[in-house]
Amino acid sequence: MGKLARKVALVGAGMCKFGRNFPLQRNPDMWVEAWLNAVKTVDNGIEPKDIDACYIGNYSSDLFNHQGHLGPQMANLVGLTPKPAPRFEGACASSGIALRQAVIAIASGVHDVIAVGGVECMTEVSTTLVTDTLATASDSIFEYPAGATFPGLYAAIASAHFHKYGTTAEDLMRVGIKNHENGKENPFAQMQQSIKEMMASKIVRYKEQGRDVPDWKDEFDFLKSSSNPFIASPLRLFDCSLITDGAACLFLVAGDVAKKFTDTPIWITGTGQGSAALSLHDRDSLTSFIATREAARQAYEMSGLKPKDIQICEVHDCFTIAEILAMEDLGFYEKGKAVEAIKNGETKLDGRLPINTSGGLKSKGHPVGATGAAHAVETFKQMRGIAERNRQVKFDVERAMTHNLGGSGGTCVVHIYEK
């Protein structure tokens, strides 16, 4: 058990511009945009006739768009009818699951080439309904009726981490600051401004309006002000990821046909998935996600790599505290030690272990069902050396990881990529 019977390669990856795209774009439009951007990255080209199946990750077009049964719809738009077109769901890890199942399906010998998509159009409904819909990924009998939406659940997790390891609100802010620095360099990100720039614009606006200009010495002052209100203490607005519409597309192929598409495949050498009880009260720990540890364990075991071998990682920073938990649960740092690494700048673009070079969910945006596939898009770009603007890391990336989380840690999917 635990080994892939065939090698699997990522040969193309692209995404649409993330943002508040509705009503100009719905899932079908964003998916086609992502598809076309992914096609461009396949060195020798790829056409529908080359592709055996279309695997779609989506969290809840049911509740966001009153549209189920997305698989055949997405497949039809890109000329893949009548091929298999299943949809996969695991809350915000939905397209991480689609990617994993595609890896598995190619390894099984049933398919040689699969198009993997992640799509989510969240802004068709009000922000209140977005929060409500996301809350259906928690336990609707035990957690949801208690009013525990995700900011509240992650606030409990953050509080527990503060209590156990001495983590502070400033530590969380450092995660957001870093991710916005990266997102600024990503033309596909929803927010392309550093927090420093946002602070500066706010000051300009205050001056224009003739109001008292706040005495902000740096981003931390800004982030501690009423401009960054509490959502669920200790989490403030800038600790939360964005509400986003977006889509991403990946082309996965069997090792024995990879050469047809490119001379430089990115191999997916490890895949892992873990689960946990949906409700926090059913868990042993608030400060560590068992689903992440299990998914990572499987992926490391399959690839034969260890945490120290990973050079870059896209982690699921749905809240700033989630990035800290991931850094620890993925084995990069001991429990309670991630914060020190963040302070030292180790996870910045020019650090030892760049994390979320894309800008992360915090700045690139978080169209929930598209996020896992978008993680792989960034990884593909970094490993190919084609990341836009000043976002490309300065070393040759030979080994990378993606970490895609669902709910408050009920699902986790981890992938390892090698050149």
> Contact between 308 and a copy of itself (CB under 8 A)?
no
Closest to a copy of itself by CB, 140 vs 233, is 140
Q: Which of the ranges 69-77, 152-160, 304-312, 351-359 carries the binding residues for a copy of itself, by CB under 8 A?
A: 69-77
H helices present in 209-313, as ranges: 219-223, 290-303
From the list 366, 375, 403, 415, the catalytic residue is 366
Q: Please answer whether residues 364 and 186 qualify as being in contact, where contact means their C-beta atoms are separated by less than 8 angstroms.
A: yes
Determine which residue in the list 141, 211, 217, 263 makes contact with a copy of itself, applying CB under 8 A.
Answer: 141
Closest to a copy of itself by CB, 189 vs 405, is 405
Closest to a copy of itself by CB, 77 vs 200, is 77
> Contact between 75 and a copy of itself (CB under 8 A)?
yes
**Count of C-beta atoms within a 10 Å radius of residue 387:** 22
d(CA 377, CA 395): 18
> Contact between 277 and a copy of itself (CB under 8 A)?
yes
To which residue do tokens 């408050």 refer? 408
**Count of C-beta atoms within a 10 Å radius of residue 394:** 7
> Contact between 370 and a copy of itself (CB under 8 A)?
no
Site string for a copy of itself, 99-128 (x = CB under 8 A): -xx--xx-xxxxxx----------------
**Count of C-beta atoms within a 10 Å radius of residue 270:** 25
Q: Which of the ranges 149-157, 240-248, 323-331, 406-414 carries the binding residues for a copy of itself, by CB under 8 A?
A: 406-414
Closest to a copy of itself by CB, 34 vs 276, is 276
Residues 18-37 that bind a copy of itself (CB under 8 A): 26
Cis? peptide before 307, omega within 30° of 0 = no
Active site residue 366: yes
Candidates 393, 389, 228; CA nearest to 320 is 228
> Contact between 148 and a copy of itself (CB under 8 A)?
no
From the list 92, 121, 240, 313, the catalytic residue is 92
Q: What are phi and psi of 198, to 5 degrees?
A: -65, -40
> Contact between 164 and a copy of itself (CB under 8 A)?
no
Closest to a copy of itself by CB, 159 vs 411, is 411
Pairing of strands 399-406, 312-314: parallel
Q: Which residues of 134-171 are buried (b: 16+ CB within 10 A; e: fewer)?
A: bbebbbeeebbeeebbbbbbbbbbbbbbbeebebebeb
Question: What are the beta bridge partners of residue 256?
Answer: none
Active site residue 92: yes
Q: Which of the ranges 277-285, 310-318, 375-383, 387-395 carries the binding residues for a copy of itself, by CB under 8 A?
A: 277-285
> Contact between 87 and a copy of itself (CB under 8 A)?
yes
DSSP per-residue letters across 56-69: EE-S-HHHHHS---
User: Length of the chain, please?
Assistant: 419
> Contact between 146 and a copy of itself (CB under 8 A)?
no
d(CA 132, CA 140): 11
Structure token pair of residue 385 = 């050396």
> Contact between 342 and a copy of itself (CB under 8 A)?
no
> Contact between 52 and a copy of itself (CB under 8 A)?
yes
CA-CA-CA-CA torsion for 380, 385, 389, 395, nearest 10 degrees? 110
Closest to a copy of itself by CB, 178 vs 293, is 293
Determine which residue in the list 43, 221, 282, 301 makes contact with a copy of itself, applying CB under 8 A.
Answer: 282
Q: Catalytic amino acids?
A: 92, 366
